[in-house]
Amino acid sequence: MFPCINFDERFADFTSAWMTEHREEYKNFDAMEDDMPRIYMAFLNEPAKWLDGLTPGSYFTQYEDPKDLVDWLAAYGREGVPIPDLLLEQIEFVGKPCEKRLLALLKDESEEVSAETRMTAISLLRSMGSTQPKMLYIGWQMNRQEDDELADNALESLADMGAAAVQPMLEALPKANTAGQAAMLDVLCGHPGNEQVFRTALRLFETCPDRCALFASYLGKLEDDRALPALIRRAQDDSTSYLDYIELRSAIERLGGTAPERDFSDDPAYEALSGLDSGFTVG
């Protein structure tokens, strides 16, 4: 196994030595911070004893085997050493041959693979424009929790996949739990015109009042004026907060309707925002 060298620490040491050697070149710390890109380039291009004379910038470029590179990524995660950007850049450079290995890493739910490593693998695959993980990512949405950083990161990738992910998401939508449906709607509402998506968004709007603003925004994106009666009813409801009303009004107006006027003078959020130059008006 290749060594997991802490490049962050090495760069910190290099920067400290640079400051000592070049302190007279800088008027203050801000001036040195402005020069950090040049310092980093010097770090990348200077032969290092701790790399047996190689430069940090060239160290990872000597490796092109996908298994070696992705296993190395996983080893950094296991050992709790910061993953070097230079390693990630080399994996991206090798590109498509690494996809299968990264996908296998994502499927490994053992303690051997850290959450950070899996998040990094998702980001790498997204940077590569890979659609290989789409079914895995959709599977993660099916019974997800509302707060799930891994599933959220995967959802960003599904959004980037565009039309390639839409049909399998439509097939999965009715089988997902409420959190999963809400998550997938975030992507699917960017592709208006599907009856199933509209009905799911309307149903969740009517049955999940605690997430009124979210589902109102989805209905607005779908641009189907059949949602207007439900949106207007909620906007008229005395229990609707000012912050929810703002999103409701936005959706209503986007669909060509007129939001009912409301008095929110007793709403703490309205009082807090009324003193700001926020552009919000009621009615």
CA distance 205 to 17: 59
CA distance 135 to 154: 10
How confident is the prediction along the chain (283 residues), in pLDDT tens digits per residue? 689 999 999 999 999 998 888 888 888 878 888 889 999 999 999 999 999 999 999 999 999 999 999 999 999 999 999 999 999 999 999 999 999 999 999 999 898 899 999 999 999 999 999 999 999 999 999 999 999 999 999 999 999 999 999 999 999 999 999 999 999 999 999 998 999 999 999 999 999 999 999 999 999 999 999 999 999 999 999 899 999 999 999 999 999 999 999 888 787 877 777 665 544 444 4
Instruction: Give the residue among 192, 189, 125, 185 at the shortest CA–CA distance from 161.
Output: 125
CA distance 128 to 102: 11
Tokens 């999965």 belong to residue: 172
275's CB contacts (< 8 A; 6+ apart) are none
Measured torsion, CA atoms of residues 67, 73, 76, 78, in degrees rounded to the nearest 10: -70
10's CB contacts (< 8 A; 6+ apart) are 43, 48, 50, 56
pTM score of the predicted model: 0.87
Instruction: Give the residue among 238, 239, 259, 256 at the shortest CA–CA distance from 247.
Output: 259
201 and 219 Cβ atoms separated by less than 8 Å: yes
158 and 168 Cβ atoms separated by less than 8 Å: no
Round to the nearest angstrom and report the end-to-end CA distance of the chain. 65
Residue 85's CB: how many other CB atoms inside 10 A? 11
